[in-house]
């Protein structure tokens, strides 16, 4: 490998990456959180006032700057020492990567007299080392390095120098903001976003009571985002204000968000979706519609539905749609249903209807192209949608149904579309019976519409009290059951009632790779151990909330599948001891993620998972 000295010209990014490959993923996700703490405002992203030119202590801080730092609560002496140590450690690591001497950063809290007492030679060496690395590292290369650093290093990077702070902000592509109530001397949303002109993903959450009380509060916040320089680069926006945003504000700001491909908003009033036609690249839209606390008296926004045939209906490019809280009397939804012919995934949450009469008649128009359908707590409309999906959704491969749907409607759907499903996720405590599983297990060989064989790869059952072992055994012995790679029996009484059922399922489902047995509180070590001996391809197992399990289950898992398991969830399992966890973590050779409480890890286990880059939680 060729060595590069300070006298060499600055290399290109590609040349440096070939010489010095990085291990960290190529993205940075910086969270800037504004929090009210003891009457002051704290900002995770440290501003330019914290460091002087080139990372050294400024000669003097003006009084206004001192008061600003006190207001923002950024210069706590103890916190300074921690952040300075982190910044120095970070720069030393990067100096090793680029082949320059380590940098000795002087402390920002150290007085000039104390720094001089330590010897000018040491400070001079630090400045020369820093200058050497600045000569070698062009802006483009530093930005590429910063993109590959984990987000936890962002506060340390911002303390290195003004140059690095600027480059960090220029490298940040994803930002999360929590906007507090108005406080004296607090920065505005526009002033914060002005530093991040290259954002592609933005999340803004606001809990201001003023927005709920004053009309247009959420609109003003949206206009502030639209006026920022980064707005035209944004591809994903999550906008969660305390008050509803108006369709007129969304229409007015649509030109600033022309590049959006994903949009989530908390509440919309009045309910109208005409502004969606002004976002030409929007693929995913989510409305988390919570009813406003006070009664709003705005006039209905014009729907402009061209269903009369005067103008041709232009389909939206939207492929994914999630709506919450839609009522049977809501107007304005028909415009959306008529233009969702390209829809591939639909989610309805806590909906009591699909809109008023015209909207209800237009709803089936969005179904033919669906690949995935989710109905969560939509009991009043679940039967109708299931019957429509059985007739119209010829390509449907995924169904999620929680807390809704009658026994007959679900049975009809499974008979018509069950053979083509890849994923079936059901939480129906009193509506799921064995006959539904028998319907899935029926050997009809082919789907009558597409001539495709059974390809059920994921079956998830939650709190299904009326399902027995006969239904599960019948499914496991069928072609549909033999293809299952993911099985979830969460809080299912049958797991605890019928001894030997898990062993039978694991022996019959030879392709099983992911297993979720969470919240079966009386599940025993013996049942788990017997099952694990037969799960030859198991790579993920979740045992969250299985309170009766002890360290013997981990020993069985290590014995039978210790060389292949990659994810283990044993959170809320108080009977599993620290020593068993440490033994498993240090001996499972392919473990990538361990979901467990932090206090259950011993110091040795913590050091091991850190060294092996095993994700915790």
pLDDT of 527 over the 70 cut: yes
pLDDT of 46 over the 50 cut: no
**In the prediction, which pLDDT does 216 show?**
65
Q: Is the pTM of this model over 0.95?
A: no
Higher local confidence (pLDDT), 40 or 591 = 591
Per residue in 299-337, pLDDT (tens digit) is: 444 555 544 556 688 999 999 999 999 998 888 899 999
Residue 517, classed as helix, strand or coil, is: coil
pLDDT of 229 over the 50 cut: yes
Q: What is the mean pLDDT of residues 551-570?
A: 96
Query: Distance between CA atoms of 292 and 544, rounded to whole angstroms?
Result: 36
Per residue in 342-394, pLDDT (tens digit) is: 999 999 999 999 987 766 789 999 999 999 999 999 999 999 999 999 999 99
Per residue in 161-183, pLDDT (tens digit) is: 788 888 888 888 888 988 876 65
Q: What is the mean pLDDT of residues 202-226?
A: 79
Whether the Cβ atoms of residue 382 and residue 405 lie closer than 8 Å to each other: yes
**In the prediction, which pLDDT does 53 show?**
36
Q: How many CB atoms lie within 10 A of CB 497?
A: 11
**In the prediction, which pLDDT does 132 show?**
56
**In the prediction, which pLDDT does 319 show?**
97
- Whose tokens are 């037969």? That residue is 534
Per residue in 446-484, pLDDT (tens digit) is: 444 443 455 799 999 999 999 999 999 999 999 889 899
Closest CA to 96 of 88, 85, 84: 88
Show the CA angle centred on residue 575, arms to residues 570 and 579, nearest 5°: 80
**In the prediction, which pLDDT does 549 show?**
97
Residue 277, classed as helix, strand or coil, is: helix
**In the prediction, which pLDDT does 167 show?**
82
Minimum mean pLDDT range among 107-116, 227-236, 376-385: 107-116
Q: And the tokens for 344?
A: 């591939």
Query: Distance between CA atoms of 145 and 159, rounded to whole angstroms?
Result: 16
pLDDT of 539 over the 90 cut: yes
């Amino acid at each position: 490998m060729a060595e590069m000295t300070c006298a060499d010209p600055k290399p290109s990014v590609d040349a440096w990456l070939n010489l010095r490959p990085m291990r960290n993923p190529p993205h940075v996700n910086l969270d800037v959180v504004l929090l009210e703490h003891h009457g002051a405002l704290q900002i995770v992203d440290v501003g330019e006032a914290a460091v002087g030119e080139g990372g050294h202590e400024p000669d003097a801080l003006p009084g206004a700057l001192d008061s600003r730092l006190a207001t923002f609560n950024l210069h706590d002496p103890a916190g300074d020492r921690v952040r300075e140590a982190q910044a120095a450690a970070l720069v030393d690591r990067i100096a090793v990567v680029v082949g320059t001497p380590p940098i000795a950063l002087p402390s920002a809290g150290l007085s000039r007299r104390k720094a001089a007492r330590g010897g000018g030679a040491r400070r001079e060496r630090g400045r020369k080392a820093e200058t050497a690395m600045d000569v070698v590292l062009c802006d483009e290369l530093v930005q590429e390095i910063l993109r590959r650093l984990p987000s936890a290093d962002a506060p340390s990077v911002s303390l290195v120098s003004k140059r690095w702070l600027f480059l960090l902000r220029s490298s940040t592509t994803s930002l999360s903001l929590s906007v507090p109530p108005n406080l004296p001397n607090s920065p505005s949303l526009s002033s914060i976003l002005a530093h991040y002109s290259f954002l592609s993903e933005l999340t803004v959450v606001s809990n201001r009571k003023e927005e709920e009380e004053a009309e247009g509060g959420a609109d003003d916040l949206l206009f502030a985002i639209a006026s920022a320089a980064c707005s035209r680069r944004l591809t994903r926006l999550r906008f969660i204000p305390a008050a509803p945003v108006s369709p007129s504000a969304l229409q007015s700001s649509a030109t600033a968000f022309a590049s959006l491909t994903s949009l989530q908003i908390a509440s919309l009033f009045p309910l109208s979706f005409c502004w969606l036609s002004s976002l030409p690249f929007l693929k995913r839209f989510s409305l988390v519609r919570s009813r406003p606390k006070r009664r709003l008296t705005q006039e209905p926004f014009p729907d402009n539905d061209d269903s009369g045939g005067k103008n041709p209906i232009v389909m939206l490019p939207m492929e994914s749609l999630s709506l919450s809280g839609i009522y049977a009397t809501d107007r304005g939804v028909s415009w959306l249903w008529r233009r969702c012919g390209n829809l591939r995934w639909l989610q309805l949450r806590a909906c009591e209807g699909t809109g008023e009469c015209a909207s209800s008649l237009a709803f089936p128009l969005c179904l033919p192209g669906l690949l995935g359908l989710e109905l969560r707590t939509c009991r009043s409309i679940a039967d109708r949608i299931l019957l429509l999906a059985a007739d119209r959704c010829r390509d449907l491969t995924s169904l999620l149904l929680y807390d809704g749907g009658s026994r007959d409607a679900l049975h009809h759907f499974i008979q018509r579309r069950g053979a083509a499903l890849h994923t079936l996720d059901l939480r129906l405590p009193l509506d799921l019976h064995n006959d539904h599983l028998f319907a899935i297990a029926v050997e009809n060989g082919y789907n009558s519409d597409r001539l495709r064989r059974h390809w059920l790869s994921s079956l998830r059952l939650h709190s299904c009290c009326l399902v027995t072992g006969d239904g599960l055994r019948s499914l496991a012995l069928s072609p549909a059951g033999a293809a299952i790679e993911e099985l979830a029996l969460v809080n299912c009484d049958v797991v605890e009632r019928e001894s030997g059922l898990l062993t039978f399922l694991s022996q019959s489902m030879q392709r099983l790779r992911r297993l979720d047995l969470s919240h079966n509180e009386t599940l025993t070590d013996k049942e788990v151990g017997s099952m694990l001996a037969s799960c030859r391809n198991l790579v993920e197992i979740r045992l969250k909330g299985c309170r009766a399990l002890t360290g013997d289950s981990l020993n069985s898992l290590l014995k039978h599948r210790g060389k292949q398991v990659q994810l283990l969830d044993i959170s809320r399992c108080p009977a599993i001891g620290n020593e068993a966890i440490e033994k498993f973590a240090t001996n499972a050779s392919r473990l990538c993620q361990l979901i467990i409480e932090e206090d259950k890890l011993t110091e040795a286990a913590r050091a091991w998972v850190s060294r092996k880059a095993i994700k915790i939680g």
